Amino acid sequence: MGLKQILKAYLGNSDRFTLPSPSESEMAVIAEARARIRKLPELTDSNNLSASDREWLENRKKIRNLILYSDPRIFLRWDIIRHTMFVTEAPFVRRELSDLRKAGISANDLKEDDIGSPEQLRKHPYTSANLVHHRYHIQQFESVAGHSIDDYSSIVEFGGGYGSLCRLALRKGFRGRYIIFDLPEFNVIQYIFLTLAGIPVAMEDSERPMAEESKAVMLFSSPGLLKAYLSTAGGPSLLIATWSLSETSLDFRSRFLRDAGEFEGYLIAFQKQFNEVDNEQFFHEFAKERPGLNWQSRPCRYLPENRYLFGGSRPD
């Protein structure tokens, strides 16, 4: 199968969208993104990979090809993105939006951007299903915790999607340090989205002094570099992992949690079973091993077979 056929299989409905020629700033962002992809080491397969690791290896290969040979300005129309990190219109999203409106959530929190060409809700074209879903997670956590995510000094998001939840947290009022840990290909997607949204971004290999990065979102893909950085951070921190930790192998998630250290707050969402992993058992043990925190596990109201795990206490 040639490159054109491969891209056609992965592009989905994105080939129906045409955009004007990119601006100079967009061209600079795209050029930087492609340069970063070309610098990444070649991906190699292995018979020792778990089913979940093998799935993400294939996803990474697809993302690399699309960034290099398609228009990243419509990345939210790529099938691989829609399959892994963009919720489309569904009954559960309409119920979540109804709950958010009843809770008095600001419409500004739900105002979608054009970046990436997101599919917007038919009856509520100012927003998207994905943005509603992310705001719902935050609202659920805050209603249980009794305080805002804005109260934390830092947020570490494991598996940051394309940066939507990060953008939402900053728009909502979070002013601490936001850190995303993800695969390098998805860090590049996050770089594209956040930079085009006007949000300062610093990759883990930034050569600028850390003082210059104080207001930037930090993107990491190396556990060692993240561990070193977190060891210098102060103040209460929140870990966010919505269907991300639960989609990795037991070995990888255990190593990440050990290296990242302890957090004062946890916002976790997971499916009960992912490939070979019993997530319900894993997160039950995870909370049990941290008895100093207040834990609440509850079903996702509109998503059967999925659960939230909220942990922590009110930051000082």
Q: What is the pTM of this model?
A: 0.90
Question: What pLDDT digit, counting tens, does each position of 191-243 carry?
Answer: 999 999 999 999 988 655 454 556 689 999 998 888 888 888 777 899 999 99
DSSP 250-268: HHHHHHHHHHH---SEEEE
Residue-level pLDDT at 128: 95
Name the residue among 314, 304, 250 with its Cα closest to residue 91: 304
Cβ neighbours for 204, distance < 8 A, ≥ 6 positions apart: 218, 219, 220, 221, 222, 225, 226
User: Percentage of the chain surpassing pLDDT 90?
Assistant: 69
H-type alpha helices, the chain: 3-11, 24-39, 51-69, 79-84, 91-102, 129-145, 164-172, 184-196, 223-230, 250-260, 279-288
Please, which residues bridge with residue 220 across strands?
181
Domains in the chain, start-ordered, CATH in brackets? Answer: 3-15+22-84 (no CATH), 91-312 (3.40.50.150)
Question: What pLDDT digit, counting tens, does each position of 239-258 carry?
Answer: 999 999 998 888 889 999 98
Q: Which of 60-64, 99-103, 240-244, 275-279 has the lowest mean pLDDT?
A: 275-279
What value does the mean pLDDT take over residues 132-160? 95
Question: Residue 117: how many CB atoms within 10 A of its CB?
Answer: 16
Name the average pLDDT for the chain: 89
Question: What pLDDT digit, counting tens, does each position of 77-109 carry?
Answer: 999 999 888 888 899 999 999 999 999 998 888
